[in-house]
Amino acid sequence: MKGCTMNKVAFFDTKPYDKIYFDKLKNQYGIEIEYFESKLSPRTAVMAKDAKAVIAFVNDDIGKETISVLKDNGVEIIALRCAGYNNVDLAAAKDIMPVVRVPEYSPHAIAEHALALLLTLVRKTHKAYIRTRDSNFSLNGFVGFDLHGKTLGVIGTGKIGMAFIEICRGIGMNVIAYDPYPSQGYLEYVPLEELFARSDVISLHCPLTSETYHIVNSYSLKMMKDKVFILNTSRGALIDTEALIEGIKSGKVGGAGLDVYEEESEFFYEDLSESILKDDTLSRLIMMPNVLITSHQAFLTHEALEKIAETTLGNLRSFFDGKPLENEIAVRKKIRI
């Protein structure tokens, strides 16, 4: 974009992989980026002084106080480099500054990661890898089960949910779905209670709202089949973690594959290998042999990172040029991800 004015942007919660495509593309969009490793919060928001915009991520604190500090320091727009926005106080941002997001980047990246979690849990390949590295070739304890013919229940049939459904149909799973806004005519949509009762595997692909908060809880777990497998690559607070732990301990839950955790903001994306983990709930989950946790990495592919950079920088360029903001988040706007 030759001839466009360079605009300064403050980039928070920076990791090395974030820079790959933002650095590659920023000049094309006429944007100068100052990177900060700190998460965005009321305390760190002053670091955006002299910047016209901030680029933030899923675990940044973008509440009322943060927004106020940003405004006082000259920031005019908040650009999320993610799809979810439950960490943003949209009511506080209204009439102060727009908030834009990346509504989609690579549904396939997240769907494929969900399948990786499921296959790893079912066939115990992570444990087999460790065992064979020690020249232990015993198969004891590695008995799994066929996914072919099993029933998959998908909650949320947006692009990510549909990508996961297509993958699982390809390996012969039967699929049922729940979505308050069903749009796929060839899917068998069922009430939530029926999905809980019929599914051998339940995968969550819905946004976090007041309606979906703790959609998996002690009550819903009682409706599920014994030994049900639960996958969550969406938002941590979709699951009541204490209820999940009790379900695992009782044997109701056969396995859980989690790429998100409801209290993840202080832990995920950080190297804490030399520290004592100060979250007893997360520690218990990690120690359970039928739980597999990854640190919110389902999105992390080159294709997704490039799309995130393109869309985020495009959102900001549109704002600086006074053009309509296609990806602006509106208060009370219902969006399926």
Is residue 332 part of the annotated active site? The answer reads no
| Alpha carbon distance 325, 306 (integer Å) | 20
Asked if 214 is an active-site residue, the reply is: no
Catalytic-labelled residue, pool 296, 302, 317, 326: 296
CA angle 222, 113, 241 (to 5 degrees): 35
Exposed/middle/buried for residue 12 (C-beta within 10 Å: 0-12, 13-18, 19+): buried
Distances (CA, A) of 129 to 121, 125, 133, 142: 13, 6, 6, 11
* Dist. CA 148–CA 298, nearest whole Å: 23
Tell me whether residue 264 is one of the annotated catalytic residues. yes
Looking at the DSSP bridge assignments, the partners of residue 203 are: 154, 231
Q: Could you tell me the maximum CA-CA distance found in the chain, to the nearest angstrom?
A: 66
In this structure, how many other beta carbons lie within 10 angstroms of the beta carbon of residue 293? Answer: 18
The DSSP code sequence of 212-227 is TTTSBSHHHHHHSPTT
Of the residues 113, 262, 264, 310, only one is catalytic, namely 264
Catalytic one among 81, 198, 235, 310?
Answer: 235
- Euclidean distance between CA atoms 302 and 272, whole angstroms: 25
- Enzyme catalytic residues: 235, 264, 296
